[in-house]
A and B are shown apart, each in its own frame.
Chain A
């Protein structure tokens, strides 16, 4: 300490280079660890009101106050072996689902806003989306089960039963269907599912949901009367432009 050493300019730059290389290598390994952890986040079912994964990951300070607030001990903080970013809150629906408290106690205690305080109605939360494995669902085998339908807290909206009559000697099928516009992903269905491994699972919507794309126009969903004078290209305002090249189909009709 304090001993004067004469170092040549070359030596000085070599030392600076060594320090920088060490810092850069350390930084690379460090950022690899971070990105590896972040990669697993799509598989975490987060508390109600959680922001989109990237924002949630950035904001969550891992304090566990949501875990403290949860009256059902649903939420837990991820440990190193949970396979999701260490210290962030999540839950395993098959073990303990979210029971959708009306006052949502876990959200207002979040100090950073990783859980969105704007969430006021628990029915608006989207923790995940229930997905049915139709090869193992009892109802899809023709058995009367429908437990998920009956247990669902957004009953009749998030899960509906579709009636499928069959031949006289066979029981009709009562098939559960999940609707993403109402399913909160609470996981009560997954917890209740009687199959050995749950045939209805909650996953993050991004993992399972497709997207039709804007170029499909489903005529029967367009809110205008369908008449004989059907013209392609009716838009929402009701104004229509004749579809060129299709007019000949109606030519000559009385």
Chain B
């Protein structure tokens, strides 16, 4: 295991490739985990607001804090919010829902379209905690994939959800969604929905890495499309990158970390990036950062391609 005898590998920038080393100190670990911890706080915090309002009657200034669940809710009995994908399915059944839920869906759609579509997946969706646990366990146990599946399968599932909503007259994904089952049962009481969640967990653990979130989930696919032009992106600083590949190892959607594309755009441009920030924490060269699309300068390139990139961005 002695690598010192070998010539030191250098990246395209001429600097030596350094692997990621987990700091020994607790403070250092905490720094690496900071975004992960923040995500858990946000995920659990949203759930807690729902649970607190339903079960313990949390109020602010005499108004319920957050009623409903992630399908449709109301903040302070005032601001409607709704899952735009669910509302889209309902509308495809041939029913035109009330303005309230349309407004709620518009609010959430705008929020994620600006913020980064799959911010939903990494920062709010409760299934993320389940699939992250499965991914962590499978890394620990060294379980390999049972088969390969295109990550574009999710767009087929998305199309199926929309078509079946038209054909069956019910919101097709909402009726079988393990995501909805999980947050609904956490908020309103446990039923057998956990078996569906267990199914997702086992699928991710034993069958396919990132199987649910990265290959099948139509809601993730929906938000990947919504977030194509989102503001919040991971900035990529080309000069410091040594192509060590640590980021791709931890990324749940490694196909978005195409460093060539990233170098051209100056950021991780794909809508499939969930903005989870794992790559930011792990990067030994501090190459990756959260930034706003608007402020990201595409690196110097021949003029034509730069303007193309800008337009594509």
* A61 B191 Cβ-Cβ under 8 A: no
Bound form: Cα–Cα A34–B97 in Å: 20
Question: Taking the complex as formed, is B196 at the interface, i.e. its CB lies under 8 A from any CB of chain A?
Answer: yes
B164 touches A87 (CB 8 A): no
Q: Does chain B have a CB within 8 A of A86?
A: yes
Listed A/B pairs (27) with beta-carbon separation below 8 Å: A26-B160, A31-B164, A34-B164, A35-B168, A58-B94, A58-B169, A58-B171, A59-B93, A59-B95, A61-B71, A61-B97, A61-B101, A62-B180, A62-B184, A65-B68, A67-B54, A67-B188, A68-B53, A68-B54, A68-B68, A69-B67, A76-B188, A79-B191, A79-B193, A87-B175, A111-B101, A112-B98
- The distance from the CB of A24 to the nearest CB of chain B, in whole angstroms, is 9
Report whether A58 and B170 are in contact in the complex, using a CB–CB cutoff of 8 Å.
yes
Indicate whether A81 sits within 8 Å of B95 (C-beta atoms), given known contacts A30-B172, A63-B69.
no
Chain B residue at minimal CB-CB distance from A65: B68
Report the nearest B residue to A23, measured CB to CB: B156
Cα A31 to Cα B164 with chains together (Å): 7
A57 within 8 A of B: yes
Mask of A91-115 contacts with B, CB within 8 angstroms, 1/0? 0000000000000000001111100
Q: Is A48 an interface residue (CB 8 A)?
A: no
Establish whether residues B175 and A86, one from each chain, have CB atoms under 8 Å apart when the complex forms.
yes
Apart from the given pairs A30-B172, A34-B164, A58-B94, 15 other A-B contacts in the complex at a CB distance below 8 Å? A26-B157, A27-B160, A27-B164, A30-B164, A34-B168, A34-B172, A57-B170, A59-B93, A61-B101, A79-B189, A81-B191, A82-B191, A86-B181, A111-B104, A112-B98
Contacts of B71 in A (CB 8 A): 61-63, 87
Residue B137, interface by CB 8 Å: no
B→A interface (CB under 8 Å): 53-54, 64, 67-69, 71-74, 80, 82-83, 86-87, 90, 93-95, 97-98, 100-101, 104, 156-157, 159-160, 163-164, 167-172, 174-176, 180-181, 184-185, 187-193, 195-196, 255
A117 in contact (CB, < 8 A): yes
Tell me, yes or no, whether A80 is within 8 Å of chain B by CB.
Answer: yes
- With a cutoff of 8 Å between Cβ atoms, the chain A residues found around residue B175 in the complex are 33-34, 37, 85-87
Which residues of chain B come closer than 8 Å to A109, judged between CB atoms? Answer: 67, 74
Contact between B68 and A64, CB atoms less than 8 A apart:
yes
A113 with B184: CB separation less than 8 A:
no
CB within 8 Å of B: which A40-90 residues: 54-55, 57-59, 61-65, 67-69, 76-82, 85-87
State A23–B218 Cα separation when bound (angstroms).
Answer: 13
Residue of chain A at shortest CB distance from B80? A111
Instruction: Using known A-B contacts A34-B170, A67-B188, A81-B191, determine if residue A87 contacts B90 with beta carbons closer than 8 Å.
Output: no
Contacts of B187 in A (CB 8 A): 64
Cα A9 to Cα B136 in complex, Å, equals 42
Q: Which of A1, A30, A85 sits near B255, CB closer than 8 Å?
A: A1
Shortest Cβ distance from residue A15 to the other chain B in the assembled complex, whole angstroms: 11
Q: Is the beta-carbon distance between A65 and B94 smaller than 8 angstroms?
A: no
Taken together as a complex, chains A and B put the C-alpha atoms of A181 and B69 apart, in Å, by: 36
Tell me, rounded to whole Å, the shortest Cβ–Cβ distance linking B156 to chain A: 5
Q: Which residues of A contact B93 (CB under 8 A)?
A: 58-59
A61-B87, A86-B181 are contacts. A80–B72 as well, Cβ < 8 Å? no
Cα separation A36 to B170 with both chains bound (whole Å): 12
Q: Is the CB of A64 within 8 A of B184?
A: yes
Q: Which residues of B contact A64 (CB under 8 A)?
A: 54, 68-69, 184, 187-188
Residues from chain B with a CB closer than 8 A to the CB of A26 are 157, 160
Supposing A80-B196, A82-B191 touch, asked if A55 and B95 sit within 8 A by C-beta, the answer is yes
